[in-house]
């Protein structure tokens, strides 16, 4: 099944879901905004959450929170349903809503900008505009930039994490490379050339995944926003291959790969961690989330790794673009937990003591966590504490620094899931050596024009 057919299927299911919701007009109307039951006490039951990645660690915060709030949520439990990714979570929700299987449908869904647009457009998300508008000035800048659709705010941001450069300090010391020289893209490339020459090819600058993750981490979330690239023009036309930023970003990646500075292996697999431990990869240009994979998989390298903001294109001058994690509440008929979820999310972001307790536990268990997005919490010295894994450097403080002077993300439209499916294969062919980077750009541009042509104007 190609992407276009999947999109059509999704649209038809969503139409069915909307029809199903409308058909429930004889019962309690679905609220557009979260509402608290009379008396402020939520009925006992199961709050279903669709998550992906490693959402089970969030339960280490959520479940104790429910225990502490028995006065309003006695008998309420959370059922975290694991999914492979945000696309699977969205499709599962759509299918449940279409079938009016509200007992299985999520009350809360972890998601991203692309899926949020799809779900909001089809009116199955709870509107948090009033609440989020009132707290926007208390959050890190840009925290709500992925939450909006058609003038309303639907996504509760869970994290705002920057693009960073992780580097092995021991390798840099061995080959006489100053980490400061990695602050620009030109310096980063020169470091790769020095490593290749001085190590006789034994050490490579970084790594690239030969699958769709190359486009995700090096392209969409990495070099393209930093180079000011565009997929769509303001009028919705395809400008991908005509964009100077696209040519700058992918041309740079093409140089890294063609000159042999990237170790080709799949992300998050054992061979990658074996290569890291063997000292074959010096750096990673990737989102801050990679911290949890380093700590969890190469814990015996504690003290060797460091991190700093991503290198910049000097003629552009902006740092890496942030990646925003989102949760949305689902507008289920008779839904009863959207306001409870709002309270839980609020405390996760603003309860300093509880957030620090949970974070300390995550560190002890080598589990994932991110900085809070509340500005007041980030002022606490706790979020600048040194890390043994990073040789005494404060990773949390570095993560906060990485959000300064950040690049704007690529504009996301309803067609970006399909666009990714057209661009990524062309980049994969380049990595496999089957075409040049110029041909990859040209072929992706032609595929976008042929298969999508235009999208929503800005």
Degrees, nearest 5: CA angle 106-110-113 = 125
The pLDDT, as a whole number, for residue 422 is: 97
Maximum CA pair distance of the chain?
75
pLDDT tens digit string along 429-446? 999 999 999 999 999 999
Q: Which residues of the chain have pLDDT under 50?
A: 1-31
pLDDT for 366 equals 86
Question: pLDDT tens digit string along 41-72?
Answer: 999 999 999 999 889 999 999 999 999 999 99
């Amino acid at each position: 099944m190609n992407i276009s057919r999947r999109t059509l299927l999704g649209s038809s299911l969503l139409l069915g879901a909307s029809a199903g919701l409308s058909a429930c007009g004889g019962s309690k109307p679905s609220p557009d905004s979260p509402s608290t039951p009379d008396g402020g006490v939520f009925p006992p039951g199961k709050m279903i959450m669709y998550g992906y990645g490693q959402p089970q660690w969030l339960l280490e915060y959520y479940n104790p929170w429910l225990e502490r709030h028995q006065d309003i949520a006695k008998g309420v439990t959370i059922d975290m349903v694991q999914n492979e990714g945000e696309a699977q979570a969205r499709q599962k929700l759509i299918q449940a809503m279409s079938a009016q299987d509200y007992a299985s449908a999520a009350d809360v869904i972890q998601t991203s900008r692309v899926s949020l647009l799809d779900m909001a457009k089809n009116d199955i998300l709870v509107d948090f505009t009033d609440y989020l508008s009132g707290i926007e000035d208390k959050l890190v800048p840009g925290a709500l930039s992925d939450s909006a659709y058609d003038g309303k705010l639907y996504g509760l941001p869970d994290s705002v994490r920057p693009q960073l450069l992780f580097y092995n300090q021991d390798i840099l010391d061995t080959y006489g490379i100053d980490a400061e020289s990695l602050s620009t893209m030109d310096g980063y490339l020169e470091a790769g050339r020095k490593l290749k020459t001085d190590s006789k090819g034994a050490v490579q600058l970084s790594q690239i995944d030969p699958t769709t993750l190359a486009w995700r981490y090096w392209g969409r979330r990495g070099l393209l926003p930093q180079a000011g690239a565009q997929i769509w023009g303001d009028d919705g036309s395809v400008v991908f291959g005509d964009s100077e930023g696209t040519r700058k970003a992918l041309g740079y990646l093409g140089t890294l790969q063609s000159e042999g500075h990237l170790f080709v292996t799949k992300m998050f697999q054992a061979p990658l961690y074996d290569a890291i431990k063997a000292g074959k990869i010096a750096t990673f240009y990737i989102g801050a989330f990679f911290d949890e994979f380093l700590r969890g998989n190469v814990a015996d390298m504690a003290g060797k790794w460091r991190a700093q903001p991503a290198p910049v294109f000097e003629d552009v001058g902006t740092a890496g673009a942030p990646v925003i994690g989102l949760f949305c509440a689902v507008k289920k008929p008779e839904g009863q937990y959207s306001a409870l979820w709002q309270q839980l999310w609020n405390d996760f972001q603003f309860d300093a003591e509880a957030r620090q307790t949970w974070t300390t536990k995550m560190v002890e268990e080598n589990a994932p966590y991110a900085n809070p997005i509340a500005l007041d919490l980030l002022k606490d010295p706790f979020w600048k504490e040194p890390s043994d894994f990073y040789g005494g450097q404060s990773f949390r403080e570095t993560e906060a620094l990485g959000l300064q002077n950040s690049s704007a993300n690529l504009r996301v439209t309803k067609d970006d899931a399909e666009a990714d499916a057209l661009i990524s294969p062309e980049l994969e062919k380049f990595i496999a050596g089957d075409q040049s980077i110029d041909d990859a750009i040209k072929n992706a541009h032609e595929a976008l024009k042929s298969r999508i042509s235009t999208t929503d104007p800005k």
